[in-house]
Structure formats: structure tokens, C-alpha cells
Structure 1
Amino acid sequence: MLTGLACTLLSAAGLGVSLLVAKRRRYATAMRLAALSLVPVGLAMTGILRLIINMTFNPVAWAGVGVLGFALVLFVSARLADRGRGGGGGDAQPAPGTPAVSARGASTPALPASGGKGGKAAAGGADDFSDIEAILKKHGI
């Protein structure tokens, strides 16, 4: 009964302030204040306020809040750990064009199977360096 009276007085004061703000032609701010000032009366009328007050002094309820908080911390830390590892899940296939990784963690060899210099791979590498050389010559290096 006392909480209902306190909520009503709080809402009345908030509506009074919103009327003063509306007189200054700040209608959007006045509507926001009026909406906020109606919240305590709505909470008191629905009985949620009584539930909140009862939960405030209940140690079992606070233990439940602690358990929910711990679950949230575990969820967020697992997500951050997964993102730090590369994210996306453990069963994801590598994207096409990326080198495969063997079971021991070493990547596939970068040299061609012929094992040496020459062939198309060496010619392709020379083309790449010729572009770089042209850029360096252009800048006088």
C-alpha cells in the first residue's frame, strides 16, 4: 500500500515536470518525461514492483542472479576464445585456394613436386619480380 502511494507521488511529480518542459515548447522532451514518469505507477499496478521488492531481500533470488551472471560470463568467454582461435566452428572446411594443413600442423610444401628450379613456377615468379623492378626503376631506386 505504501509503495503504491510512493509510486503515485513520484509519477505525479514527473508529470508536473513534463508539463513545465512542455510550456517551454520542448514537446519531444516533455513526452519522454511523461512516459518515464508513468513507469512507476504501471509497475505498482501490475504487481511487478512487489515482486522486485520481494526479490531484493531474498538471498535465494540473488544466488539465482549470480548463477545467471556466471552463465553469461562463461558464454561470452567461450565466444571470445572461439573468435581468438579463428572462430567459425571446428568443422569448417578450408576455403578454396588456401593450402591444406596436415595432421601434424605443417603446411604443404611450397616448392613444386619436380623439386627444383625452372618450369612454369620459376617463370611466374620472374614475372612478379619484373613488375616490382619496374616500379622501383620508376621511382629511381
Structure 2
Amino acid sequence: MLAETIFSAVSAAGLGIAALTAYRKKYLSAARIAGWSLVPLGLVMTGAVEWAFDTVFSPVAWVGFGVLGAAWLLLLTTRGVERRRGGRKAAGGGAEPAAVAPGASAPVREVQARPAAGKPARGGDAEDFSDIEAILKKHGI
């Protein structure tokens, strides 16, 4: 009840200032002041002020905000853990996430399986470079 009275008084004072401004022939400023001074009155008439003050001084509302915060933290934490693990598990319980394009890496496997033409197969690093060479040759580079 006190908040509604204060908001109504602020609106009345704002409208008085707007009237004085209009009397001085500053109509644009007077209209702007009148618009801003009608906002608190509109909030009182819609019941928004009563709702806001009931929420601010209600312990149940604060506990509700705490529960919402806890839910948000749980959802955010589980999302972070899920991203760290590399995505959701397959329905069959597989240890690895399903590939987006399973056949996409097949040509690379074929290049690794056979040695490059005209070159003897060497250990470790040569295989890596032969893959790159095969890709570059394929594209004509």
C-alpha cells in the first residue's frame, strides 16, 4: 500500500513538472516528462508494483529463485561434462561416439596400407608423408 502511494505521488509530481514545462512553451520536453511520469502510475494500476514488492519481501520467492539457480547450475555442469567426454554415448552403450561420416577416412587407410609407388617403405614418419604426398598428387599439386 505504501509503495502504491509513493509511486502515485511521483506520477503526480511529474505531471506537475510537465505542466510547468508546457507553460514555458517547451512542449516537446513537457510531453517527454509527462510520458515518463505516467509510467509509475501505469505500474500501480496494473498491479506490477504490488507483485514486485510481494516478491522482493517473500522468503518463498527467494527460495524459488535459489532452486531455479541450482537447476541452472546442474544443467550447465552436465552439459560441460558431456562436452568433455566427447558427446553423448550411443544407444547400444558403445565406448566411442558414432562417427559423422564413417567412410570418410577409408581412402587414407588405403594409402597407408600400400607403399608409395617407386619408393621403398620406410619406418614411421615416411608413412605420414606418403599420405600427404598421395593427397597432393590426387589434386594435381
TM-score, structure 1 as length reference: 0.49
Q: Specify the structure having the higher radius of gyration (Cα).
A: 2
Whose helix proportion is higher, 1 or 2?
A: 2
TM-score, structure 2 as length reference: 0.49
